[in-house]
Structure 1
Amino acid sequence: MRIILWVLGLGAMIGAIAEVFLRVKYGLGSPLLYVADTRTGYRLAPNQSLQRRGNRIEINQYSMRGATILPQRPAHSLRVLMVGDSILNGGWWTDQSELLSIKVQRSLETLHLADVRAVEVLNASANSWGPRHALGYVLRFGTFEAQVLVLMLNTDDLFAIAPNSYDLGRNPQYPTRRPPLALWESIARRRPYLPSPELQALHDQPGDRVGVNLEAIRQLNQIVQTAHSQLIVAITPLRRELADDGPHDYELVARQRLTDFAAAQSIPYLDFLPQFQQTHYERLYIDDIHLSDEGNVWVGQALASLIDQVWPQPADEPSPRPMDEPMTDLW
């Protein structure tokens, strides 16, 4: 009996040590939480502050990655609203101070823009968001009186499925509540995951997905124009697109459609594929999709330069309130 109690006590002590280690070292047990949204499908739950693997993550009252903001733009300021996927969001691997939006803000601040006392770059993003998610976010919350809205894409986003919340809380990457233990989260993230039939059906849905996403960008541009602001579209390539074989044929077709669309809509457009091809692109990535700190600096400087060229001066008219219904049902 003593041996059994001794083994149980040793097991409990090892478990407690492992629990503390996982919480302190990796931040497990306190994951970023998500909420369902009829516009965006899902978004980060508002008002979160935590650390994951030593990186600080802060989510404000509007599900942005950043500190609490006022919905109205401060006087004599330049406000930029960036909307996008995990490249913009930065995930657990990027500290709050090293986000792409912060790099853009710092680059803009060095330009000493005329009649601008402060620069504010907002970061509305979530993993796997595409153009329809971005449109849904602006329909939900508006433009926050930003003079410039930057839609940040990567090549995969041209093929993004419709916003949905089918696997929210089911997929360990999109939790809706905190696990009871860090050990619990560690085990859950290692279990095999299969999409629900509903989510798989969306992926298998036929039709012109690229065309639908371009239509979402067109509608987003209409909202931005109504708010007397300027839309910019920027797209980063996947790292494999920069290898000798280059993008796949279907990716080249989709990219050309976006290029032609931006020209037809007179939307300032920044394609980083040709720019990355002219440099040692390997150091700009941490994996096949996401940018390194150097990549964020590189892209941030290019975006700041374009924003400086195109941003309109503040208008007297207030920005419109979020729309009650989308102009065309893209969901």
Structure 2
Amino acid sequence: MMMKRKTFWIVLALIVITVSLEVSLRIVGVATPPLFQADPEIGYMMVPEQNIDRFGRRIYINRFHQRSEELAEKPAPGTERVMFLGDSVTFGIANVDQSQTYPEIVGATLRKSGKSIEVANASAVSWGIGNERAYIARFGTFGSKFIVLEIGSSDLLQPSSTGATIDVNPAQPSKPPVSAIGEVFTRFLIPRVKDALGFPDPFDNEPVSTEAREKQFNVDMDHFRGLVALVREQGTQPVVMLVPGEGELLPEAQRFTRYEPYRARFLQIVQSLSLPIINLAPEWEAKPDMHAYFNDGTHLTVLGNQVVAARIVEELSKLDKPEQPKNPLSAQNQQ
């Protein structure tokens, strides 16, 4: 009898602890990940019309699968629109509130100057240049004056992502997890343990051999040229932003150099297409606080988003200035 009572109280205590832990985790935002949907042409997109509180940070996905407030297909008269296209760096990770992503900071900064500005943040985790081209091919640029194309160094060798990873990669669910406790294990603990033990990332599809990398680079550059052509057909000015990883900014003896030759060739292609570019690597490598820009070596902290936003505002302001008419008297004097 005593044994049965003891067992009963142990079981009851375990149930109470489990329920309390589940409720506590849900309160802080576990079990509310942003959801993905597979797409045969684009690969995948964010599920539309999500309004999520994730770890106290807001994530809102509009009807066009963008991490932005709801937008009309075209801006209203007198309103300018800036579009942002990229991967998880542009989307912003879970510990960055929507208002603290660099697209939203750019919009807020430009509005302070008295302009009516809207921003459209079309991005998703692990999108490659091919995915971004397919998105623009379907949806266009939404009447944007500028579109900032965020290109990470790894994007130069990344195959287009497909919907095959949805619900296989724990970071890309199509539906909420059954339990918060389960998500803690599958999404956070197990991947970190595997990484600490040196297990390869099963979702890393970057080419390994030099020949395969060369082939993939050429494929991605074809996608890039096609993307730029699509954007220009819409009457939108593309602006390239080349974003390094933290490892590419370290002192030379420690620097991650895999992407350096591809970055150099990409910059030549950007120049040949007469595109304005924000090349952050040479600007950041001498910054003493550049480590504070990165959350995990790739994604941006709140400070990193602020620094990027300020640089974009600077570039857009230069591009937005009307050309000064030449003074004919001055021209005559020079003859």
- Which residues in structure 2 correspond to 1:114-263 (within 5 Å)? 117-189=115-187, 190-191=189-190, 203=207, 206=212, 207-245=214-252, 247-263=255-271
Report if the CA contact (8 A) 1:230-1:311 is conserved: no
Cα separation, 2, equivalents of 1:278 and 1:32: 36
In the superposition, the TM-score normalised over structure 2's length comes to 0.85
- Classify the secondary structure of the residue corresponding to 1:20: helix
Tell me the matched-pair count: 307
- 1:97 is matched with which residue: 89, 96, 99? 99
Deviates more, 1:180-189 or 1:47-56: 180-189
Q: In the aligned structure 1, how far is the partner of 2:163 from the partner of 2:8?
A: 46
Report percent identity of matched pairs: 27
Instruction: Give the Å deviation of 1:107.
Output: 2.7
Aligned residue identity for 2:234: A
1:292 pairs with one of 280, 295, 301: 301
- SS class of match (1:286): coil
CA displacement, residues 69-111 of structure 1 (integer Å, 9 cap, x when unaligned): 1111111111011010111111211011101101211232344
Q: Deviations over 1:33-92 (max 9, x none)?
A: 110012321111111111121111111111111221111111111101101011111121
Whole-Å separation in 2 of the counterparts to 1:162 and 1:66: 23
Residue 77 (structure 1) aligns with: 79
TM-score normalized by structure 1?
A: 0.86
Does residue 1:7 correspond to 2:6, yes or no?
no
Q: Secondary structure at the match of 1:72?
A: coil
Query: 1:133, CA displacement in angstroms?
Result: 1.4
Aligned equivalents of 1:188 and 1:287: distance in 2? 19
Q: Is it true that 1:308 corresponds to 2:307 in the alignment?
A: no
Name the residue aligned to 1:272.
280
Q: Please identify which structure carries the higher helix content.
A: 2
Q: For 1:32, which of 15, 31, 34 is the aligned residue?
A: 34
Q: Which deviates the most, 213-222 or 3-12?
A: 3-12
Gaps of 5+ in 2: 323-335
1:123 aligned counterpart, secondary structure:
strand
Is residue 166–residue 196 contact of structure 1 (8 Å, CA) maintained in 2? no
The amino acid across from 2:168 in the alignment is: R
- Matched-pair contact (CA < 8 Å) for 1:78–1:147: yes
* Paired amino acid for 1:36: A
Per-residue deviation, residues 263-283 of structure 1 (Å, max 9, x unmatched): 101111110011112322122
Return the letter of the residue paired with 2:274.
S
Helix, strand or coil for the counterpart of 1:30? coil
**SS at 1:191's partner residue?**
helix
Aligned CA distance change for structure 1 residues 200 and 102 (closer, same or farther; 3 Å): closer
Q: Counterpart amino acid of 2:50?
A: Q
* Alignment partners' CA distance in 2, 1:310 and 1:17: 55
Superposition deviation, residue 258 in structure 1: 1.2
Q: Any idea what the Cα deviations from partners look like across 1:197-230, whole Å, max 9, x if unmatched?
A: 9x67775682521222121111111111111111
CA 1:39–1:311 in 2, change beyond 3 Å: closer, same or farther? farther
Deviation of the 1:145 alpha carbon:
0.9
Ranked by relative contact order (alpha carbons within 8 Å, sequence separation 6 or more), the top structure is: 1
1:195 Cα offset (Å): 8.9
Residues in 2 aligned to 1:312 and 1:149: alpha-carbon distance in whole angstroms: 17
Distance in 2 between residues matched to 1:295 and 1:44, nearest whole Å: 24
Larger Rg: 2
Cα 1:131/1:18, change in 2 over 3 Å:
same
Structure 2 CA distance for aligned equivalents of residues 163 and 140 of structure 1? 17
Indicate conservation of the 8 Å contact 2:107/2:118, yes or no. yes
CA shift, 1:140, in A, is 2.2
- Measured in 1, the distance between the counterparts of 2:14 and 2:35 equals 30
AA aligned to 1:243 is L
